[in-house]
Chains A and B, each alone.
Chain A
Amino acid sequence: MNRVVITGLGCVTPIGNTVDDFRHSLFSGITGIAPIGPFPTAPAGHPGVRFTQMAQVVDFDPLQYMSTGTATATERAAQFGIVAARNAVEHSGLLQAHAPEDTAIILGCSCAGRQAEEPQLANLYLRDARAHPLTVVRTMANAGASHVSIDLGITGPVLTISTACASGTHAIGMAFHMVRSGMVSAAVAGGHDAPLTFGFLRAWDSMRVVSPTLCRPFSADRDGMTLGEGAAMFTLETLESAQARNATIYAEIVGFGMSADAHHITQPYSDGAAKAIRTALKDANASPSEVGYINAHGTGTTANDSTEAEAIHKALGPDIAPTVPISSTKSLHGHSIGATGAIEALATVLALHHNQLPFTYGVTDVDTTLNLDVITKETRPFDPLRPIALSNSLAFGGLNAVLALRKFD
């Protein structure tokens, strides 16, 4: 089987619309979470939501990156995907070495098109208005993947994976397996989502899992997640091809684990998450003692963080689990649903490449009952003797996806 490496990175996120800006914010602890401000699509006199913060992408004008026709035919989620994927591919030089027909695009997206659909439906139901003729193409879940293929001229397997908060991680993992098996010679993979509409925020508000203050994962007084939006994309290819063309290698993907809880549609379940972690390590042919960093799903809800800690203990064992440095970067870039796994994978790849582990921004007092080595306040050096990093995604619906990455020297 092929060894698979990451040779290109691209992103559009609340903490940077370039990888350089993202990296700076990541390691400096500059958060993209800010007051919501006015809701652009909310009806007058609406009652609002109980929370006041979210993580929005700023300074993003699609016309800077694409034609008027493409910008008109797409919604914000697809636009993020197009820009991030183009940046990753251009930056890597991938298509100079790989045939477009032998390259895949596997993207994760959970809420595609909401910003185009929601105002349309409001008009349709409340004002008996007509639906805009571009509503279908703006809102279909695969719009992003399809536009990326058009933009880059890639004609191999192209598909969208939708597994809620694990979508981006599942997409990268499936692309990894496709390149590893030789099904394709290269892939563009990642996640993208732009769900911050009035209806979406109200729906999450009703679930009572959004922090009324600020997402602070692993804190003893944590009180919920903070929603976000964005995209992160990667180019994957075989180690052999990357070395042959002298490409920069940011990290090696060595394992991928998936599982379903088959338990509850929202309640996290440690057995399922632990199985995904174990499967990723088995796929990587690695042992728990080799894990030197975990980028947690770490939403900042009471239930997620305690269940994830329990899962890590089950998967790595009681002796090793408390010794592995762990952080959640969601308090920087927010929880962007279908994109978040890919954005966290980007944080993990940068951690490996720069030998620097990001800290969990906003932590007050660490919840000691979790019995984890939570990185707080400042970054830590990566221990090269434990070269594996895990990126966990534990989605609503009980769908778990874990990537195992290895530092590449």
Chain B
Amino acid sequence: MDDIEKRCIEIIAKSKNIPADSINLDTTFEELNIDSLDKINISFEVEETFKIEIPDDALGTLKTVGDVVRGVHQLRENKPPANVATP
């Protein structure tokens, strides 16, 4: 388990008040009873933790814990260096 996976699982576990070891990459949001409000709450924590911004259209496609972890990897790889000014 890499660090991103570990931290994503910790965020989700804390949000739902369940043990982290009850969650793996294949766990679905449906199984965790994650509703739309939970989803934006978890997304916010993930964004704050990894200093990324999850696009609105990506938010709707997240169905599993693995989707979140893969999305974080992808966004971090595409993230511009911190010293590049944005328009």
A137 pairs with B37, CB closer than 8 A: yes
Instruction: Select one of A63, A68, A132, A137 contacting B15, CB under 8 A.
Output: A68
Q: How large is the interface on A (under 10, 10 to 19, 20 to 34, 35 or more residues)?
A: 10 to 19
Q: How far apart are B12's CB and chain A's nearest CB, in angstroms?
A: 11
CA distance A63 to B17 in the complex (A): 10
CA distance A72 to B17 in the complex (A): 10
**Given contact pairs A63-B17, A68-B17, A72-B15, A133 touches B40 in the complex (Cβ within 8 A):** yes
Contacts of A72 in B (CB 8 A): 15, 38, 41
Task: Tell me if B73 counts as interface (CB < 8 A to partner A).
Answer: no
**Given contact pairs A69-B38, A73-B37, A133 touches B44 in the complex (Cβ within 8 A):** yes
Task: Tell me if A134 counts as interface (CB < 8 A to partner B).
Answer: yes
User: Helix, strand, loop or mixed for chain B's interface?
Assistant: helix
A134 pairs with B17, CB closer than 8 A: no
Write out, one digit per residue, whether chain A residues 86-115 have a CB within 8 A of any chain B CB (1) or not (0). 000000000000000000000000000000
CA distance A95 to B4 in the complex (A): 48
Contacts of A68 in B (CB 8 A): 15-17
Write out, one digit per residue, whether chain A residues 134-146 have a CB within 8 A of any chain B CB (1) or not (0). 1001000000000
CA distance A210 to B73 in the complex (A): 53
Contacts of B41 in A (CB 8 A): 72-73, 132-134
Give the residue name and chain of the A residue nearest to B44 (CB). Answer: A133
Q: How far apart are B16's CB and chain A's nearest CB, in angstroms?
A: 6
Write out, one digit per residue, whether chain A residues 70-93 have a CB within 8 A of any chain B CB (1) or not (0). 001100000000000000000000
A134 pairs with B16, CB closer than 8 A: no
Contacts of B35 in A (CB 8 A): 69
Instruction: Select one of B33, B40, B47, B48 contacting A134, CB under 8 A.
Output: B40
CA distance A69 to B40 in the complex (A): 12
Contacts of B15 in A (CB 8 A): 68, 72
CB contacts under 8 Å to A, within B1-57, are 15-17, 33, 35, 37-38, 40-41, 43-44, 47-48
Contacts of A137 in B (CB 8 A): 37
Q: How far apart are A360's CB and chain B's nearest CB, in angstroms?
A: 43
Instruction: Select one of B16, B38, B44 contacting A132, CB under 8 A.
Output: B44
Write out, one digit per residue, whether chain A residues 216-258 have a CB within 8 A of any chain B CB (1) or not (0). 0000000000000000000000000000000000000000000
3 tightest CB-CB pairs across the interface, nearest first? A68-B17, A133-B40, A133-B44
Residues of B within 8 A of A (CB): 15-17, 33, 35, 37-38, 40-41, 43-44, 47-48
**A-B contacts besides A72-B15, A133-B41, 12 pairs, CB < 8 Å:** A63-B17, A68-B15, A69-B16, A69-B35, A69-B37, A72-B38, A132-B41, A132-B44, A133-B40, A133-B43, A134-B37, A134-B41
Residues of A within 8 A of B (CB): 63, 68-69, 72-73, 130, 132-134, 137
- Residue pairs across A and B with Cβ atoms less than 8 A apart, 7 shown, are A69-B16, A69-B35, A72-B15, A133-B40, A133-B43, A133-B44, A134-B37
